[in-house]
Amino acid sequence: MELKRVVVTGLGVLSPIGNDVETTWNNALKGVSGAGPITHFDASKFKTQFACEVKNFDANEHFDRKKLRQLDLYAQYALVAAKQAVEDANLEDESINKDRVGVIVAAGIGGLHTFEEEAGYYAVHGEEQGPKYNPFFIPKMIADIASGHISMQYGFHGPNYGIVSACASSNNAIIDAFNLIRLGKANVMVTGGAEAAIYPAGVGGFNSMHALSTRNDSPETASRPFSASRDGFVMGEGSAVLILEELEHAKARGAKIYAEVAGGGMSADAYHLTATHPEGLGAILAMSSALEDAEMKPEDIDYINVHGTSTPVGDVSEVKAIKELFGDHAYKLNISSTKSMTGHLLGATGALEALFSVKSVQEDIVPPTINHDPEDKDENIDYNLNFTFDKAQKRVVNAALSNSFGFGGHNATVIVKKYAE
């Protein structure tokens, strides 16, 4: 069976550095930080009091009152990003067979705010009043519901589900969508991720694990991947959605093509509940599997958008994995962590970074890793590698590789390349 080719024909995003693709991408190239004091709740008693929140978002501009009762914030974000992507790809064209359009939008956590509200209310009032739960509690909370809402919004009847693999979730979603199309199971897939976990349970939970930065005096510089003084990740939120489409289907309807999806790889560290393998063995396997799937060699890759969360262990293990797999070519790559600007969007982070990778391939420019002090060096990191510190760098980007790793040892790598006939 000959596998079909898959291209990207639409993009949508709601992020800490912009509420559309153009703004988000331009701010990424400028090195704008999305970090600031938490506004979703009073975080004054928390070890971490800042995050990368979506800004200037008014749900009432997008949804009526009845619809809002059904939507957790993460699903709101997903629907807004999906609308941008659907419009960008012109998927509402009546000539498109919607039975062949599917949706896989992932979340690592899902409706955490809804869960917090409902469980918290019962904890306070349950003994006195008995169980009084909102009838929308379960369908607002579950991590697959964003995909369901998107399919209902547009009448897409193709494959429809959510994926949960912690911070690898939306890369796994993209890989599944890619495979469904190239196997002929769908013509078009709406895919990506959404997350909105900047609430007490999310911040408090990660604080208890010592996973978050506590640099409260300087939030905008707190996410500092590959620097010796890094002290944890900065939580982000938002959604990114990509439209993947079978090449001949896209050409037949005259769709614009941003890039081609070349391959995907997945693996498990099988090592630790939350820590990456110290030698990056799972990362090596995911990246090498993606290269094999794409029928590419390590030297075919020009840019790696790393997982790069700004954690002491994770950054070192990913650098080791890149050096081991890419050998001498590692020094010819551009590497950057866009989490230095956006923070870590958990289950949505892979989709946002895949979007950045697509734009890099399209425009031949690599966004920077910000917040690096040349004197702040970690002896375990090889600074002869090009981490694209401080400023975006123009270069030909024929192919870009994007990594996402999640708690539980989940690893997922996506490769995109320039489209050519």
**Antiparallel, parallel or unpaired: β 365-366 and 399-406:** unpaired
Q: Residue 37: which H helix or E strand, with range?
A: strand 36-37
167 is catalytic: yes
Catalytic residue, candidates 167, 249, 372, 410:
167
Task: Please check whether residue 295 is in contact with residue 417, taking contact to mean a CB–CB distance below 8 angstroms.
Answer: no
52 is catalytic: no
**CA gap 245, 186 in Å, rounded:** 8
Count of CB atoms situated within 10 Å of the CB of 179: 17
**CA gap 396, 412 in Å, rounded:** 25
254: left (phi over 0), alpha (psi -120 to 50) or beta: left
Nearest Cα neighbor of 415 from 108, 78, 29, 6 is 6
Catalytic residue, candidates 277, 307, 372, 410:
307
**CA gap 196, 278 in Å, rounded:** 29
Catalytic residue, candidates 40, 249, 277, 344:
344
Output the DSSP codes for 297-329.
-GGG--EEE----S-HHHHHHHHHHHHHHHGGG
Q: Which residues are catalytic?
A: 167, 307, 344
